Amino acid sequence: MREAPRKLKMTPQRLAILDYLRDNVKHPSAETIFKAMKDKFPTMSFATVYNTLSTLSKANRLRELTIDPEKKRFDPDLKPHHHLICIRCGKIVDVKVDYGLKLPYAVKKGFEIIGNHIEFYGICDECRSLGK
């Protein structure tokens, strides 16, 4: 379960990472964000970026996605949504449709459902056109 939002000291690094993620729909990894921050913060380490992303995630400022088995991805869109994932290139696309899933009482096994996330897998247009 996620922690309740808390006040965070907004360091220049945190602000820069949040700014990079604002309206970013590519669901970047920590490595991608680290590379993007290198010019502005040449002394910032990968560990700092990773720890900052973890802190921001725990503070409900972004969502940590574990849908890529190779690396965690990060999503600034905190509104409920699902994802399309290309099995060839790893592209992730938001799906903003509420499917209104209702689990029968017997299936819930006493759980109180507070949300869901559906992952759709396929091959994106670009990979299909390149014959990947």
Which pLDDT belongs to residue 2?
45
pTM across the whole model:
0.81
Q: Is the dihedral of CA 121, 52, 77, 33 positive or negative?
A: negative
Give the pLDDT score at 6.
56
Residue segments in the chain with a per-residue pLDDT below the cut of 50: 1-5
62: exposed, middle or buried (Cβ count in 10 Å: 0-12, 13-18, 19+): buried
Q: Where are the domains of the chain?
A: 12-75, 82-130
User: Model confidence over 108-119: pLDDT tens digits?
Assistant: 999 998 888 999
Q: What is the pLDDT of residues 13-28, one digit of tens each?
A: 889 999 999 999 999 9
For strand 73-75 and strand 63-65, is the pairing parallel, antiparallel, or unpaired? antiparallel
The answer to whether residues 36 and 82 touch, using CB atoms and an 8 Å cutoff, is: no
CATH architecture of 12-75: Orthogonal Bundle (1.10)
What pLDDT, on the 0 to 100 scale, is given for residue 1? Answer: 41
Q: If one looks up domain 82-130 in CATH, what number appears?
A: 3.30.1490.190
